[in-house]
């Protein structure tokens, strides 16, 4: 697992994950269009079916990036920013700082 030293590293990874998911969605859309086009050509039906099946894998990967990876990075960013908050005004000794 990657260790983050600054919040900028986490933000950079969040932006990269968003770009990766968007690229996968665009690729899936173009492959789906091409697959549908190939289905209309009699000797290319098998290739069209294969491309349409492959679209599902790309969309699943994009969804996983958006759900699990982005959620993880956002939680890491929140934890990182919480750890940087000053402890001014906390006088309750029952609350530990970790």
Residue 29 pLDDT > 60:
yes
**Three-class SS state of 93:** coil
Q: What pLDDT does 4 receive?
A: 80
Closest Cα partner for 10 from 97, 62, 69, 87? Answer: 69
Distances in Å between the Cα of 44 and the Cα atoms of 16, 31, 34 are 36, 14, 11
Q: What pLDDT does 86 receive?
A: 59
Per-residue HEC secondary structure of 5-45 comes to CCHHHHHHHHHHHHHHHHHHHHHHHHHHHHHHHHHCCHHHH
Q: What is the pLDDT of residues 41-77, one digit of tens each?
A: 989 999 999 999 999 999 999 999 999 999 999 998 8
Is the whole model's pTM more than 0.85, yes or no?
no
* Segments making up each domain of the chain, as ranges: 8-80
What mean pLDDT is predicted for residues 19-46?
93
Tell me the two tokens of residue 83.
Answer: 């750890």
């Amino acid at each position: 697992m990657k260790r983050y030293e600054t919040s900028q590293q986490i933000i950079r990874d969040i932006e990269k994950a968003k770009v990766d998911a968007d690229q996968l969605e665009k690729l899936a859309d173009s492959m789906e269009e091409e697959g549908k086009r190939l289905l209309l050509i009699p000797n290319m039906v098998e290739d069209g079916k294969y491309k349409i099946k492959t679209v599902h894998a790309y969309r699943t990967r994009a969804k996983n990036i958006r759900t699990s990876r982005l959620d993880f990075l956002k939680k890491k960013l929140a934890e990182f920013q919480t750890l940087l908050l000053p402890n001014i005004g906390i006088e309750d000794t029952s609350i530990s700082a970790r």
